[in-house]
Amino acid sequence: MRTTLTLCLGLLCTAPAAPCAAQERWQVTLNSGTILWDLHLVKLSGDTLVVAHADSVYAFPLMDLDELRLVHKSERRQNAEPGRYDGVLAGADDEVHRLTLYDLAERRQIVQQVFEEHPPHGSP
């Protein structure tokens, strides 16, 4: 009985933590080509996306955005073939929302969906 309890407690301690919005890192590409990274979603205020970086807050009109990207942590995975690696810093697992070809209403809908799927830290 004691061994089973110890094993169960050990498994609980080694289980990976569930991802939370506080750990999510976003990248914004503006129409000008400027890229801002390591951002956290704050809110969608009308037609303006509000994000935070460290102790700064930025607001971007939706029409100034080219791309919104959820950047996933990169992992080094060795392929079955010796000396070959898969998924190394390629961004293949990133969630990318390309906004360039959409009008304002469509952009607003896409960003609202992003906020529904990835609520900012402290949101219900």
* Percent above pLDDT 70 for the chain: 65
CA–CA distance, 72 with 70 (Å, rounded to integer): 6
What is the average pLDDT value for the chain, to the nearest integer? 79
Residue 83, beta-bridge partner list? none
pTM, rounded to two decimals? 0.69
Three-state SS at 106:
helix
pLDDT digit string, tens, across residues 6-49 = 333 333 333 333 444 447 999 999 999 999 999 999 999 999 99
Give pLDDT, residue 74: 62
